[in-house]
Amino acid sequence: MAYRTLTSHDEGAVRTLAVNRPDKLNALDLETLNELTLAFAQAAQDEAVRVVVLTGTGEKAFVAGADIAQMHDYTPLQAQSFSRVGQALMLTIERLGKPVIARVQGYALGGGMELAMACHFRIASDKAKFGQPEVNLGLIPGFGGTQRLLRLAGRSAALELCLTGRQIDATRALSLGLVNEVVEAERLDETVNALSAHLAASAPRAVAGILDAVLAGGECAIEQGLDYETQAFALCFSSEDMREGTKAFLERRKPQFKGH
């Protein structure tokens, strides 16, 4: 399927989606949000896709935020709808059931940082910059930033970044637990490729179970979280991959997961 604001490229079981508005530093307008939502829904349904890499076109920006020019004239009701579309996209990504890696090569600001935080991994170039600068526009984050930043990095970092609107570099983002790894810009692709290949070769039922248990469990009482874990654990026993993984261990060989 052809998109106007995105590119999509498959290599084996890894689908790479790139926001493709480099002249606007990949800012998220409504059309881009809608196309991303569709693209992720398709990735969820396509059994051949095991991992999604999300990035932006060009070296300068992952995504520099929601489209300020579009928002400028919004009424409160339009803003409410825009926020809900953005939040629904972030939930679609978070609940995809397949790992999503944000490849952050440059600016990840505002909606760009919110997009990165909805992914399951963030691999950043040492040139990446993060921030929630909405306060500088008389705004607040509207695509889940106040909530995901709070959960990922704690209240102190969430208040600092949202209230000051300041940009932080990748090293500070790493120290706050906002990114998984920071690598030199030249090593970004090989790092993302190695991680995506590793995840794509894993047993998908187990991967989906971990995503479900960690993400749903993080939002509820421990008894309910433990129940999610038990259900996901038990479901793995319905897969051939689980029989293969345990058998391979007993036979002292590497498992060959087939994805069912």
Piece in contact with ligand COA (CB under 6 A), picked from 24-32, 96-104, 155-163, 199-207: 24-32
134 in active site:
yes
47 in active site:
no
Q: 99 vs 141, which CB is nearer to ligand COA?
A: 141
Taking CB under 6 A as the criterion, which residues in 107-126 touch ligand COA? 107, 109-111
- The answer to whether 24 contacts ligand COA (rule: CB under 6 A) is yes
The distance from CA 56 to its chain's CA centroid, rounded to whole angstroms, is: 13
- The answer to whether 67 contacts ligand COA (rule: CB under 6 A) is yes
| Active-site annotation holder among 11, 47, 94, 114 | 114
Count residues near ligand COA (CB under 6 A): 17
Q: Work out whether strand 51-56 and strand 14-19 pair parallel, antiparallel, or are unpaired.
A: parallel
**Torsions phi, psi for 62 (to 5 deg):** -70, -70
Residue 224 CB, nearest distance to ligand COA (Å)?
Answer: 34
- Please, where are the H alpha helices in the chain? 30-45, 68-71, 76-94, 111-118, 145-164, 170-175, 188-200, 204-217, 222-236, 240-250
CB contact set of 181 (below 8 Å; sequence gap of 6+): 123, 124, 174, 191
Rg (CA), the chain: 19
Tell which one of 14, 66, 206, 213 touches ligand COA (CB under 6 A): 66
- The answer to whether 245 contacts ligand COA (rule: CB under 6 A) is no
| Active-site annotation holder among 134, 181, 186, 190 | 134
Point out which residues pair with 123 in neighbouring strands: 103, 181
Q: Where does this chain bind ligand COA (CB under 6 A)?
A: 24-25, 27, 64-69, 107, 109-111, 133-134, 137, 139
